[in-house]
Each structure stands twice: as C-alpha cells, then as structure tokens.
Structure 1
Amino acid sequence: MLRESLRYLALRLKYSKEAIKREQERLKREAEEHSRLAARYLADGKDAEEKGQVISAFQSYLSSLRSANIAFDKTSYAAALGRIESLVHRIGLSKDQEETTLKVKAVLQSGQEKLPIRDLPLTFRLAQGDETIIRTNQEGIASFRQTRLPGLINVVAVTIDIEQAFPLSYSDLPEKDTKEIQKAFNLLKKEKVEFVLTKNLGKVIFSISCKNLGKEVDRKIVESKLSSRLVESGQKIVSQDETETVEDLLKDGDFASLKLLCDTIITGEFFTRRGTKLRSELFSCFAAGSLKVTDLGSRDTIFQKEVSDVAGFGLDMESAGIDALNKASSLMTDYLCGVVE
C-alpha cells in the first residue's frame, strides 16, 4: 500500500514538473513574441514620425511600451518611453492670417527640418466660449474662417486637442511612467497661438448723454476719446450733424431708417456725483457711466460695459466732476478697444 502511494506521488511530481516546464516555455515564447512586437512597433513609430504622422507614431510607441512591459524588455521599454517624450516636446504651432481666414501650421522639429504634422486636431476657441475643432491637412495646416465676430476685439486661441489626438489610457503601464507621459502632455497643452481680430463696425455713430452734477455738459468729453481710438483701429465715424436725427429715430424705434445712416450705434450715459472737500483748494467728485455697442444689421449687442466710482479732482466741485468724466471715458475707451483685460 505504501509502495503504491509513493509511486502515485512520484507520478504527480513528474507531471507537475512537466506542466511547470511547459508553462515556462509558453511564457518564454510569449515574452519573445512581445519583445519582437515591441521592436517592430518602435520601428513603425519612427517611420510614421519621419512622415509627420505624429498620431500614428504615438500609437506605435505606446504599443511598443505595452509589449515591452509584458516581455520585461527593459531596452525596448526605455527606447519607446524616450521616443514618446521626445515626440511630444518637438511639436509646435505657427500662425498665419488672411483677413478673417485663420491658418495654423503644426510642425514636428526633426533636426534642422520642420515636418508638417497631418491629421492633428486643433481647437479654435473664441474668448466668448464658442469653439471649433479642425484637423490639419497634408501640409500640416488647419484653416478656419471666422465670419461672425461677437465683439469689437475678438481673441481666437488655437490649441491642440490632446484628448482627441492622444487618448491617454495607460492603466496597464507602471504608474511612475504614466506620470512622466502625462507631464509631457501637460506641457503640450500649453502650446498655443492667438489671433486678435477687430470687428469692422462699418459706419459708427454716437448717442451718448453726459451730465456733470446733474447738468448737461459737452458730450465730446466722452465721445472724442472714443472716436479717436476707433478711427485709429480703422473704423469710420459718422458726422455729428447726424446725431439729432439718430436720436429721434432711436426714440421712435425706427431701426430700418437708422440702418440707412450707419451700421453700428454706440449709446450710453455718463454722470457724476459729489465727493468731498479734501482741503481748502481741492475737491473730489465721482463719475459713473455705461456704454452699449449695437450692430444695427443683426441687432446684436457686441459690447456692453459699466464703470463706477471713478474719482476726479479739481479746484472746485465742477472741475473735479469734469476730471472724473475724463477719467471714466478713458477707462471705458480702454475696455471697448480691448486694452484692459
């Protein structure tokens, strides 16, 4: 009985060793296959990179990383990780503009050469929040025509859509390496070009009331600063002779007739309130104002802003009020023309 039990145990040990050996051989073959795959994916990535196919190159390098990780192939793993980091750091954007057509070129720095990057998704985003995603063409260029400008000064920022271009799913890779890859992509997110577009307002006319301590004063205190800055930016100001006609049409709500006189109307009001006597010959006063710019064609409000508590100083309360109005109009002009963020 004992002899039979020992024979049975010996047979089990024999077959267990054979099973273990077979499993070891299988794992070895699998590791060798993944090592070959890692090398092949690495070569594929380099080929894609030389053609400016950055997304394909990244996917190949990522596949090489995964295969090398399975095979415990440290050489291929380090090479693939290095290629990914190098690839990301050599991607750049440049810009060109033809009127309202915005062009951005994506390039990959390769030695002294800049290779165009094809099929890279770029996000064109207006400051107001509207955005459009466009992929680069064979020359690495994404073209975007901005036809509707919601504001007088419009900033269009262009960035790489990282999530769409390089899907970041690395759950099967070591955490320390995924953090390194993520760090590289976080830097790439900062790669950005900006376009500043000035809306052509066409013919512009003002309808602004201006009061100092409750009394009507010359509206040119406000309008002169606004008009001179708008003329500098290429806008056309309608003669002040038309102002009374415009105000009558505004009261009647006759926008059709208004449109015959001008394309854009700037309306607003500025006024002051008393401050204090600071010392024997110095008074303070505070100004407030509001401004609204309306496109008469679309009826869109393309700019609206209020300022308040703008301090002015003078030898009497009236001159302090005029100083406050001047400062308030300068501040509003800066806001309108995009100088103040």
Structure 2
Amino acid sequence: MSHVLVAPDKFKGSLTAVEVAAAVADGLAAAAPGVPVRVLPVADGGEGTVDAAVAAGFRRVRTLVTGPTGQRLTASYARRGGTAVVELAEASGLHRLPGGLAPLTASSFGTGELIGAAVRAGCKRVVLGVGGSASTDGGAGLLAALGARLFDADGAPLAPGGAALRRLARVDLSGLDSRLSEVDFELASDVDNTLLGTHGAAAVYGPQKGATAEDVEVLEDGLTRWAMAVDPQVAGRPGAGAAGGAGFAAMAVLGARMRPGIALLLDLLGFPDAVRGARLVITGEGSLDEQTLRGKAPAGVALAAGVPVVAVAGRSLLSAAQLREAGISAVYPLSDLEPDPTRSMVNAGDLLRRCAARVAHDFLEAR
C-alpha cells in the first residue's frame, strides 16, 4: 500500500518540525491505522535546520562556541560522512541573545566557530543555513573565527559587531585556515537582498533586530566599508544581504554557491526517496502567508512532491487560489479548531492530531 509522507517545518514558538511531524503521524495512525506513514521533518535553512538533518540520519555534533554578544554556549552542527550542516541560528541567532536585542554589537563569530569545527573534523562539504540572525556584521565575525583579522586606522583589532566596521581600515585574510580552500560551501538561502542599499541587510533586516533609524545608518556605513575592503562586486549579488550580510562573507571569501534553501535541504534530507511511491504529502508551518509563497518550506515541498499535497498550519492567510497556485490542495489551520492564538500554541500537538484526523477523512478514506 502506498504511504503518506509527513514533511512539515516547525511551528515557530510552539513546536519543532520533529514534534509537528510526530503529532500529525499520531493523528493519522489513530484515524487511518491501515495506512503506512513516513515522517521527514524539513527546514529551509533557518532555525531548526540542524534538528531536521539529525532526524534524517545526520549525527549531531556539539561544540562550545561564542554567542552573539560574547557569552559561551553549546551549539550543534549536523554531520553525515564528509558533509556538515551548519545552522547560523544555532550559534548566532536571535534566540541566543541573553539580555535583549543588540543590533550594533551582535556578532556572527560563533557561526564561524561551528564551521571551523566541521572543517577540522574533516568535512569537505559545508551547507550553511542562514536565517534568524541576531547580527548585522556582514559576516565579519564569522570570518574572524576562521582566522581573518580586522584593524582600525591605528592598527588595533576591531571590536565585534556591525557598528565597529565603521572604523575598519584594513582586513588581513592571510590567517584563514588553509583547509577552507578544500571545502565546498553551499549557502542555503531564499533571501535575494544585496548587502547594501535600500534593499540591503541593514535597511531591510536591521529593524527586525532592534535597530533604530540611526542604527541602520551606522550599520550601513560599516557594511559599506566592509564591502569595499573585501569585494565590492560580490556585495551587489542577490543573497549577499542574507543573515545580516553573512551571505556576503560566505560568497566573497569562502566561495560559497547560493542555492534556494528548501530545494537544497530537501535534497540533503532525502526527500526524493521519501516521497517516491507516496499517495499524499502533508506539509506545513506555523503561518501560511505571503512569505510561504517566496520559497518557504511548504511551497518547496509542494513543488517537489509530484503527488497531492495538503498543509497544516497554525493559521492560513492565503486564498484558495494562492494555495492552488502553490500546489497545495487543502489547508487545515489550527485556528479553525482553536481561534485563540495563545491556546492554539499551547495545545498545538493535540490540535494537529485532530487536523490529521480530518485529513484522513478527506483524503484517505475509501481510497
């Protein structure tokens, strides 16, 4: 009998992708016990990417790194053979800030430490998932952790963070780990912003990280100096503005190739094999909205599935026409069962099990 593939992303602030998949699978098993179910939690390169890789068979590797504002913390990357999956948010994400937002001083240094750990362990392919970054430092911290040195006009090392880049006078890349040149870097991102300008990292994403209008100007000035010192041409590439400019550092210095996050991760997680022979795919995320249509996980799953796809979600703001255009046959929002957002988030697991029963009734009975 053909199976149902459950391939959701996380419900941010409520359940991880692994927990969402488990709840949906439980609901299907109760409502349609004779139907085989496979689960494959997915991610698009943002928060939860390492967890999804581990669920797909990668090994979790924990290491001590530096958080966005200098605190020491334990973060993980995922490894299988010579491939490592590094999630920027694991070390340098907003959720790693211990005491509030730090738009001017937060650094991507810890992400560089994760990359360094993977390279020292012998990985020859590093997939860097970006999303949820706390910093707007252009990836300067990331490169500093790998051996780059940044100096001001007096020859003093720069402090961490995007604001300090305004004082940048010289960049020395000679200390970069020589093994980096032997590694194939892939940037998993759906962000097409450039590093600078009105569509750049500071202007678009700085306010989400706590930057005021004045802070944005400071960060823009710093990123401009950074771009001029490293590679002005790469600064204008789509994706250079990803993760506060970490995309710029990855492409300009590490030679990273950018691929759409969900497409890259689906291949890496084994989606083509998991979906083969499936009769239905159930995907989802916390909110189905306009962002979903621009390369988020549910749209990527629907595009790649080749079989009917339905979605579960905390809420859906998309019209029936938009869902059809994205390849999603039906959506089952938790808000239909529990309109109160707080209660919905608290009881998301039970609500997902009820939604899964509705999916079974609508798509699996007498088929």
TM-score, structure 2 normalization: 0.23
Greater relative contact order: 1 or 2 (C-alpha under 8 angstroms, separation 6 or more)?
Answer: 2
- Give the number of the structure whose alpha-carbon radius of gyration is greater: 1
Instruction: Kindly indicate which of the two structures has a greater share of residues assigned to strand.
Output: 1
TM-score, structure 1 normalization: 0.25
